[in-house]
Copies of this chain bind each other. A is one copy, B any other.
């Protein structure tokens, strides 16, 4: 009977789990030192929570089903609806700005492909109740801080930022109608990844207006984008200017963004975005809460891990244990267990054989455990209240009194 994981789902054997935890640790560290508090919501939510803002068509991309009580439910594909629901429920009692983060797992029913499975872990950081450009810059700084903790610098990644207000104003200035806006923005967003995007813009808007759009993307008229200029100024205050570049081709897919939008890419431009976010003022109100400005970002584990691998920066899993305790003969099994308990009580990660293997076999188990040190418990030293500590890399051995062992 050979069972397998479902296609698009991952088994995390210990080596892979250790890397996942190392990424999460960087996410937790960056969040906490910037004063963000962790929250979480249910993996399963009512389907309506996700279709309410994104439309019924999103259901095609969801793990949606009817539960036994005939409720339409879905595995969460993103956090913003849950965040909006939770904030809306307690909006009046929560001090503003609300600074929350989470490290949830998301699910989407898509054809699995390289770098995109049907589940992934994503770090989400959000600020609710702040309209200042400093808030936009701070969440960007938090995203970059996690990358720095993992060893990535400005030579490795770039944060490209634009602003939805500017984009809409520019489209209006060349008479793009509001009904065309999302389609046109969609093709601008694809200009770098899809060779047909420029052609599609021409078909929709005519050559003249399409060329004008391409010209902005070249010229970057920041004087006509004061909101973006303000955000870039705040980025300097937060010490991240070396990472940040304005880029009007950054649009992002979701309809709910209202201000600055940004994505972090590898400088080589080989991978999908490592992270992306923006301002979504108005969304909390649409979920039944008060009218609070809001902004945030998401960073997934899959592209980040691939980038770290390419840079030779993938975190090394720690050894299973620090110390392996070896009874040198069967009658030393009980004393060895005493040593083991003493080490564990002191917080040292330690292991020992369950039975009484031969000494050579026990030493092999010590090697396999990844321990740096073996503690050999033999009758002569034990009579003196001591053990022998062996450095498993160098082979050096020395006698240590039990009370000095740590």
Binding site for B on A (CB under 8 A): 1-6, 9-14, 17-18, 20-21, 29, 32-35, 37-46, 48-49, 52, 63, 65-68, 71, 73, 75, 81-82, 85-86, 88-90, 95, 97, 99-100, 105, 107, 109, 119, 130, 132, 134-135, 138, 145, 237-239, 286-288, 320-321, 334, 337, 341, 343-344, 347-351, 354-355, 365, 368-369
Contact of A13 among B13, B48, B68, B86 (CB under 8 A): B86
**Does the CB pair A349–B33 fall under 8 Å?**
yes
**Does the CB pair A35–B320 fall under 8 Å?**
yes
**Does the CB pair A41–B63 fall under 8 Å?**
no
Smallest CB-CB separation from A285: which chain B residue? B1
5 contacts between A and B (CB under 8 A): A3-B48, A4-B46, A17-B37, A33-B350, A34-B350
**Does the CB pair B350–A35 fall under 8 Å?**
yes
Smallest CB-CB separation from A62: which chain B residue? B68
Interface of A is mostly: mixed
Which residues of chain B are within 8 angstroms of A42 by Cβ–Cβ distance?
A: 5-6, 9-11, 119
How many copies altogether? 2
Which residues of chain B are within 8 angstroms of A341 by Cβ–Cβ distance?
A: 238-239
**Does the CB pair A321–B351 fall under 8 Å?**
no
State in angstroms the CA–CA spacing of A52 and B39 once bound together. 36
Smallest CB-CB separation from A3: which chain B residue? B85
**Does the CB pair B288–A6 fall under 8 Å?**
no
State in angstroms the CA–CA spacing of A368 and B96 once bound together. 10
Which 3 pairs between the two chains have the least Cβ-Cβ distance? A35-B351, A65-B65, A9-B42
